[in-house]
Structure 1
Amino acid sequence: MGGEIFVLSGYGHGHLHPCMELCNHLSSRDFQTTLVISSSLSSAMPSSFSQKVLPIAPSNRFVPGSDPVQAAQDLETHLTNHYGNQNQPPPLCAIVDFQMGWTKTIFSKFNIPIIGFFTFSACAAAMEWGAWKVQAADIKPGETRLIPGLPEVMGLTHSDLKRKRPAGPPPGGAPPTGRGRGGPPKPGDLPFWVKEIEGSIALMFSTCDDLERPFLSYMADQMGVPAFGVGPLLPENYWNPPSGSLISDRQIRGDNRQSNVTEDDVIQWLDRKPRGSVLYIAFGSEVGPTTEEYSELAGALSETTRPFIWAIQSGSGYTADGLESKVGYRGLIIYGWAPQLLIVSHQSTGGFLSHCGWNSTSEAIGRGVRILAWPIRGDQYHNAKMVVNQLKIGWRVAEDMSEMVKKEDVKKGIEKVMGDEEMGNRAAQWREKFSHGFPASADAGLDAFKEFITRKPAAVSTVSVS
């Protein structure tokens, strides 16, 4: 075996699933992995996951029963029992989700080096850092402020700074400052995650060179440590589905959340729709539009002629009363859990109205699905900008995201995304690029990480921001 590696997952499925896939990839390279999770996530672990799992007490103030002191004690006790007597070789490193930066002090007691792990895109990290570097707060209307080292098309504009603050507590228990607060950071602020990754000997991202080479290079240069692209960390069946069959989300992810439809219901509905004709609408499990904007969206869907699947979050409190009778079989409305991998991978799906969370964004890109971007918070705005400006496979639902999104905005966006043939061709090129399985550049990133961590010199650089 190549040695042991700890992988610490943050809170929520958007953190857990990439960490599980990372463990699988590391295991295939002869590392022994230990996945550290909050005990509150234990029920979300699929039975098919075969790597070692260490549950610790929740340390998140938005998780019922959280006990940060107990969580720290759980982790330290485990490390002491296994590595404190020097009989057991210490782990090679701990790959720490940025939400779990508090564990650094515990690992340092055992001289275990830290790899800072980002489940959001390298683009978002680079843009947040770059905005701080160029002091973006004073950008004037009509001005474009370039970030040296990043593509010109990602230059910051005044409209990039216009954002609404989502209501409610920060989902997933992200830190109470910066991006994780649930609202946008003040332009020019030091990104909150910098403190969380300080002291790391390398960075790791759920992305690959094919998608984000300039952003990975920028982060490596700016942070002064290697930045490995090892993803997107999506399930094996996403990259290599069984011959002639569709992806089953429930089999892969072990989700036991409630829904008003089955996977078979969704497949039968999609099978009856023309290739590339369906718009899928979903905002993930943590954020969403306002109640008023949901009504504007419903109005747009009732007036467009496009077939659609709308997955309405369980916690949104919104019901699309009357919409189903208006649209008939043209629309499929899902309340609760939706089989997203199945939907974006089906040949009938051509567009995705998305909040542009990184997992959803990368799932769509890999299947050649165009994106109507409706970002809600933080990193999603940067993902949306990359999709629209850099990859040119999407459209932003509104220019001024500080104002309520209107029905006409949504209707215009739907027609732009679903009707733009050139955009469709560019999206199809990404589908072809990723049609041969897990990206070769991500495999190369994992191999480079293995070389780095098994042969690291006695003295290595660490992330340090003065």
Structure 2
Amino acid sequence: MLVLFWCSFDTDKLPSMSLFVPFASTTKSMKPDFDQALASLSPVTFMITDSFLPWTLDSANKLSIPRFAFNGMTTFSLSLARPSHDLLRTELSDDEMFTLPDFPWIKLTRNDFDSPFRERKPKAMATSKSSGLIVNSFYELESVYVDYFNCKFSPKAWCVGPFCAVTAPLQQRLEKPSYIKWLDEMLEQGKQVLYMAFGTQAELSPEQLKEIKIGLEKSQVNFLWVVKKSIDEVDDGFKNRVKNRGLMVTEWVDQREILSHGSVEGFLSHCGRNSVVESICAKVPILAWPMMADQHLNARMVVEEIKIGLRVETCDGSVRGFVKWEGLEKSAKELMEGEKGKEARKKVKKIGEAAINAVKEGGSSWQTLNELIHELTERESV
């Protein structure tokens, strides 16, 4: 019998991402209670813990339990990040382009990487000493990089997703949220909507918010924009001027429900891993605006590798540059109405079908999960 122990955490309630490192560090104070809880569940065949909880490896080793790390990064990102260590330790400028010998078609910069990969002296990671890496992806999406990673590095990456394609179907509610009613109205009018969300962690400056508002107003695209309450600026007339084609929402929203709505034909996204996967499963092309962490590499994959989206234009060409209203206006119109947007829409429909098929019986992720279970069962019997 297989018994799984899963442990993870999120940062939704952090008031600022500047607190992430001290927050992650303090999780180690849970270790005594964690060890006690783990021991009480014995026997446990294996455990999956967040890669940001490296101290759980020691807990697993004490009880001889295989520890699998769950890392939100794709094998595409990991396959680029690890070979880049030596180059990132040199005196490259932040926007100086470089390539890797094994992937000469991909151009990267230091600005595509965040800690720990960006550090000139990266720290050892507990993930490399774990029994495996669980990845929320599917083989067809990044087959070249899955094969490369599993050939070059350890431990093995197991692509058993996309998770959102195997979760319970969206439930019908007695009362629809106001934003879904608004999308229904747009659909009845035959209007296409650009969904906009930057995740729970991104922090936009007042200057950047101002440029976004101007760009949206001038673009004339229809949009649903989810914003944080903390950055919901005093109404300067913007809401009134776009009231017939734009909606700003400060409440929690069901992103999967929005992306699957018939009116939504584009997603302006920070390219967080879950957002990218959910957009693929909903077959919605992406307008990439990465902010932090692995989002810049995710944007590279979305725009340059699998070509299911476009990138927002920055004023200086840097991947971390400021976005002026002109760049947003041009990019949004191209995704929603232009030829590049049409091509991205065709691509994402094809890849979206592959994502759904991957988790069906006989699909690539279904088979990978079976292989993982078989390997663990054999190890347990020995």
Are positions 1:73 and 2:3 aligned together?
Answer: no
TM-score normalized with structure 1 length: 0.70
How far apart in 2 are the matches of 1:303 and 1:322? Answer: 14
1:139 shift after superposition: 4.8
Deviation sequence 1:9-36 (CA, Å, 0-9, x none): 13246xxxxxxxxxxxxxxxxxxxxxxx
Match runs of 1:252-263 below 5 Å: 262=178
How far apart in 2 are the matches of 1:60 and 1:403? Answer: 24
How far apart in 2 are the matches of 1:249 and 1:385? Answer: 36
Q: Is the 8 A contact 1:203 1:228 kept in 2?
A: yes
Runs of 5+ unmatched residues, structure 1: 14-39, 42-58, 84-89, 165-177, 242-246, 252-259, 460-466
Distance 1:75 1:250, change over 3 A: farther
TM-score normalized with structure 2 length: 0.85
Are positions 1:62 and 2:23 aligned together?
Answer: yes
How far apart in 2 are the matches of 1:356 and 1:115? Answer: 25
4+ residue runs over 6 A deviation: 140-143
Match runs of 1:47-446 below 5 Å: 61-62=22-23, 68-69=28-29, 71-83=30-42, 90-135=43-88, 137-139=90-92, 144-150=97-103, 152-156=104-108, 160-162=109-111, 179=115, 186=118, 189-190=121-122, 194-234=124-164, 236=166, 241=169, 247-248=170-171, 262=178, 264-274=180-190, 277-319=192-234, 321-397=236-312, 398=314, 399-418=317-336, 419-420=338-339, 421-436=342-357, 438=359, 440-446=363-369
Distance 1:323 1:123, change over 3 A: same
Q: Is the 8 A contact 1:370 1:393 kept in 2?
A: yes
Task: Give the AA of the match of 2:138.
Answer: C
1:366 shift after superposition: 1.8
Task: Give the AA of the match of 1:409.
Answer: G
Distance 1:431 1:232, change over 3 A: closer
1:298 shift after superposition: 0.6
Match runs of 1:28-39 below 5 Å: none
Distance 1:74 1:140, change over 3 A: closer
* Number of the residue aligned with 1:174: none
Runs of 5+ unmatched residues, structure 2: 15-19
Q: Is the 8 A contact 2:72 2:135 kept in 1?
A: yes
Taking only aligned residues, the RMSD between alpha carbons, in angstroms, comes to 3.2
Structure 2 residue matching 1:231: 3-state secondary structure: coil
How far apart in 1 are the matches of 2:369 and 2:88? Answer: 34
How far apart in 2 are the matches of 1:319 and 1:284? Answer: 21
Deviation sequence 1:166-219 (CA, Å, 0-9, x none): xxxxxxxxxxxx637xxxx536553x5x51313212221111101122222232
**Is 128-137 or 2-11 further displaced after alignment?**
128-137
Distance 1:250 1:72, change over 3 A: farther
How far apart in 2 are the matches of 1:148 and 1:342? Answer: 41
The count of aligned residue pairs is 367
Are positions 1:456 and 2:343 aligned together?
Answer: no
